[in-house]
Structures are given as structure tokens and as C-alpha cells.
Structure 1
Amino acid sequence: MDTKQKTILVADDDKAIVDSISAILNMSGYEVLNVNDGTSVLQAIKAQPDLVLLDIQMPGHDGVAVCKQLKRQASTKDIPIIFLSASMDVARKAQESGADDYLEKPFDIDALKDKIFHCLNRSRAAS
């Protein structure tokens, strides 16, 4: 898979997390868009990223509400969403909202890269 052509939207209200994820993904060849709240996700999604990394607990619209909205819209329903959260019930929230995968914080960066790779491959295979 050619990661140089893939865009990932990173949404988290913790700037340190966004900065570290962005740096790692940039070094891996991805283009990265950064936002820090749910309302901004709904604006940034217009760029049609290939994947969204979405924190559950953010100001404005939380990640669960954002995910449900994106999965209901024809133009965004097929964009893979991976939840990133310290929430104890992240697995349940991911399943209930239609997220494609999840990762509990703190997370291992290799595990994150693996989940991104697999979600992008599933998405490409489905199209």
C-alpha cells in the first residue's frame, strides 16, 4: 500500500497526543490533518480523509456523536474510524457507534500503525 497518498484525520483535545501521533504518521509517509474538537472533525471531514483517528471525549460534539453522524452520511460512511480513548468502555462505545476499531490510551505506537494499516486495507478491499 502506498501510504504517501493516504490522509489521516487526527482528532483529540490533547495537543501533545495530536502532535506525537502526527509526527509519527508524517514520518511513516501519511498526510495528516489535525483538529481538537468534534465540531472541527465535521468541518475537516470535507477533505475526505482516508481514515479518522477519533478521541471519544472532546469538547463540543464527543467522538461517539461524531462517529454516528459520519457513519449515517453517504459521503463519509465508508471512511474507517478508529477510536482512541482512555474510557473504560471504549470497546462498547466503538461497537455501538459504528467505529471500525479502537485503541485504549495509553497505546503502543506500533499497535496504532498496525490498526491503521489493517483498516486502510479493509477499506481499499471493499471499494
Structure 2
Amino acid sequence: MRKRILIADDDPGIVDAVEIMLDFYGYQVSSTYDGNDVLKLSEYPDVLLLDIWMSGCDGRDICKELKANASTRHIPVLMVSASKDIAQSAIQSGADDFLAKPFEMEELLLKIEKLTH
């Protein structure tokens, strides 16, 4: 069965590129430009790729909420950000891993592979 990945990022260029690449590698990909949508999901992904700074919300707050909820705390969260300096705060908010933008697709694939096994 194909692993499901949800991308929550308000940058359409990144979402499109990552969706195409992950689909090519056999993942089932969905996306949202609004991080608040993540908290309204009825079906959860195998991995959440979550941008830290999105218009209207902070990915770290979303991550904290997911990790505080018994039904969603098991979802691996890979946080991404253009700021390399906030990796520590991403991990402190409960993220399972962090990736600084711009990133190499190979590095993203390796991290997703690690989080899904």
C-alpha cells in the first residue's frame, strides 16, 4: 500500500515540485496551503510535511496540537523552513525531524523514508 503524505505549505512552487517528485516515487500525496486544515483532517497521513511559517498560522503550534492529541500524536511530522536557525524550536514543538529550505529532493526522500519505517 502506498504511503500517504500530506504537505502543508503556503508556497505553491514548493508544493507542486514536492508533490510531483513524491508521486513519482510512489507516495500518495495531498496538500493544503492552510496549516489550520491539518487540525480538521478526518483521515491522517503516514507523514506530515509541515512548513513552519504559513500565512495565518505557525506550524509549530499545529505540531504541538497534533502531538498533544492521542489520535494524532503518532503521525511523524517533518517540519520545513527557510530559516535554518529555528530547527531547535521545531524539534521542541514536537516535530520528528527538520529540513531547511531550500532542500535537496534526495534529502527529503531519505527523511520521509526514515519516518515511514
Please give the range of the TM-score, normalised by the shorter of the 2 chains. over 0.9
- 1:7-26 correspondence runs (5 A): 7-26=4-23
What residue number does 2:30 align with? Answer: 33
Q: Which runs of 5+ in 2 are unaligned?
A: none
Question: Any unmatched runs of 5+ in structure 1?
Answer: 122-127
Say which structure is richer in strand: 2
- The equivalent residue for 2:114 is 118
Taking the aligned partners of 1:90 and 1:32, their CA distance within structure 2 comes to 26
| Percent identical residues | 47
Task: Compute the displacement of 1:61 (Å).
Answer: 2.2
Structure with greater helix share of residues: 1
Write out the 4+ residue segments of structure 1 that deviate beyond 6 Å after TM superposition.
none
Between the two proteins, the alignment pairs up a number of residues equal to 117
The TM-score normalised by the length of structure 2 is 0.95
Please report the RMSD computed on the Cα atoms of aligned residues, expressed in angstroms.
1.1
Once structures 1 and 2 are overlaid, which stretch shifts more, 62-71 or 80-89? 80-89
**TM-score, reference length from structure 1:** 0.88
Query: Greater relative contact order (Cα 8 A, min sep 6): structure 1 or 2?
Result: 2
